[in-house]
Amino acid sequence: MSTEPFKNVILIPQTNQLLGLYTIIRDAQTKRPDFIFYSDRIIRLLVEEGLNQLPVTPKSVETATNQTFEGVSFLGKICGVSIVRAGESMEQGLRECCRSVRIGKILIQRDEETALPRLFYEKLPDDISERYVFLLDPMLATGGSAMMATDVLLKRGVKQDRIFFLNLICSKEGVDSYHEKFPDVKIVTGAVDECLDENKYLVPGLGDFGDRYYCI
Ligand code: PRP
Ligand code: URA
Ligand code: MG
């Protein structure tokens, strides 16, 4: 299978391991402790792939056997920005890879009747325009919430090509709408679902991610 179904969509390798993790979290019978545990495993893979997208510079080191190893070192500063509530579930996975990483928050809620997003609150690092930004939200359905959050980042001076949207499941139509507006943002995802239902939920999807991770 191609790992890049659309331009600027990075689909992480569709291994049997990954498929097994998605099978658990998509199963309606899966209870909250397992839902959290297996979602966290996927989140970790998404974070590692996001980090893999960042630039590096050549670096050589002396090894303990007095040999030279030609490697690389990481370039640039990063921060995470979670779209509250569900996006907060991805913060820990980022912290596990990037110690004491700065994290901003954007509170956007999708109206349950209309599925339209509403922005309530934002708190972002002052120097965010100088950083690579990992925008965190597990679900991209219509794309409305992610677009609203990206608008907030752009208004703060972040360039599109410095934003990486990390996501567990997106829809084809959500990706198309998002990239029509923000073609240079990279979406790092583990699954692209076929369509949305009459309530604008992903199909096959997994239901309400925030409820399953935090409440049910
Ligand atoms: C969910 C999800 C995304 C949004 C996706 O959040 O976490 O933010 O919906 O839908 P969209 O692409 O159609 O905008 P929701 O607002 O339901 O709140 P939650 O994070 O509290 O679950
Ligand atoms: N939010 C979710 O949690 N799930 C969906 O399928 C769509 C929006
Ligand atoms: Mg949300």
ipTM for the whole predicted complex goes beyond 0.95:
yes
Going across the sheet that includes 186-189, the strands are: 9-11, 186-189, 163-167, 131-136, 77-84, 102-110, 117-123
Q: What are phi and psi of 37, to 5 degrees?
A: -60, -50
Do the Cβ atoms of 5 and 183 come closer than 8 Å? no
DSSP string, 4-28: -SSTTEEEPP--HHHHHHHHHHH-T
* Ligand 1 atom at shortest distance from the alpha carbon of 209: 22
pLDDT per position as a tens digit, 12-31: 999 999 999 999 999 999 99
Please say if 211 is a catalytic residue: yes
The tens digit of pLDDT for each residue in 81-122 reads 999 999 999 999 999 999 999 999 999 999 989 999 999 999
Q: Name the amino acid, one letter, at 193.
A: D
C-alpha of residue 115 to centroid of ligand 2, in Å: 10
Specify the residue with its C-alpha closest to ligand 2, atom 3.
Answer: 208
How many Å lie between the centroid of ligand 1 and the Cα of residue 139? 6
Q: Are 205 and 169 in contact (CB under 8 A)?
A: yes
The fold of the 9-54+74-214 domain, in CATH, is Rossmann fold (3.40.50)
pLDDT in tens, 150-184: 999 999 999 999 999 999 999 999 999 999 999 99
**CB 214 less than 6 A from any atom of ligand 2:** no
Query: Is the shortest distance between the CB of 201 and ligand 2 below 6 Å?
Result: yes
**Which letter does DSSP use for residue 1 in this model?**
-
Q: Does 110 participate in catalysis according to the annotation?
A: yes
DSSP states of 116-129 as a string?
Answer: -EEEEEEE--TTGG
